Amino acid sequence: MNEDLPLNAEDIAEIAAIIEASPYRELDLSTRRFRLRLARADGADAGMTQEWQWAGSAPEAAPAEAEHAADPDAVAAPLPGTFYHAPQPGAPPFVAVGDTVGPDTVVGIVETMKLMNPVHAGRAGTVAEMIVPNATMVAKGQPLIRLA
């Protein structure tokens, strides 16, 4: 989609050196394809910075984080990701409706950026409802499991 990649690390280093040796504070360059701003950073020890903006790189809007009413009886997702009931496909779920749990009981996992994060019940109680089905994308704070 384009002829050549603009400016490698050596090019940037050379331009930065030119600006550093000059009385100028920054270079702001706009082309049809990109905008590059090379500037001195704030702070005594700081060096130069490079900021890029690309024409055509306008990502789709992220799924809006749903607002969730605080549900005191629900275990909420500690972070966004995929909620799993079981440690691996085919394995029995961590908990089922009717199970008694303590604050430290693991009731599920949320996979975010390839890391498995355990979800703890947070308080003692009995599992009343699995609100969110297995392997579902959830927002941070979304109620996952209702405790009675």
Partner 1 sequence: MIRRLFIANRGEIALRVIRTARAMGITTVLGVSSADAASLPALMADETVLLGPGPSSQSYLAIDKVVPAMVDANCDAVHPGYGFLSENAAFARAVAEAGIRFVGPDIKTLEGMGDKLAARALALEAGLPVLPGGEAATPEAVHARAAEIGYPLLLKAVAGGGGKGMRRVDRAEDLDTVLDMAQAEAQAAFGNAAVYAERFVAKGRHVEVQLLGDGTHAIHLGTRDCSIQRRFQKLVEEAPAPAMPEEARAGIENAAVRLAQHIGYRGAGTAEFLVDATDFSFYFLELNARIQVEHPVTEAITGVDLVEQQLLVAAGKPLTLTQAMVRPFGHAIEVRINAEDPEADFRPAPGRITRAAWPAGQGIRVDTHIAAGGEVPPFYDSLLGKLIVHAPSREEAVARLKAALASIRIEGVPTTAGLHARIAADPRFAAGGVDTGFLTGLAQ
- Tell me the torsion sign for CA atoms 37, 39, 42, 46: positive
- The yes or no reply on residue 21 touching partner 1 (CB under 8 A) is no
Site string for partner 1, 117-136 (x = CB under 8 A): xx------------------
Among 23, 25, 56, 64, indicate the residue that binds partner 1 (CB under 8 A): 56
User: For residues 40 and 146, which CB has a smaller minimum distance to partner 1 in the complex?
Assistant: 40
CB of 76 to partner 1, least distance (A): 14
Site string for partner 1, 69-88 (x = CB under 8 A): ---------xxxxx-x--xx
Distance (Å, rounded) from C-alpha 20 to C-alpha 7? 18
Strands, sheet with 115-120, edge to edge from the N-terminal-most edge strand = 115-120, 106-112, 81-84, 136-138
CB of 48 to partner 1, least distance (A): 4
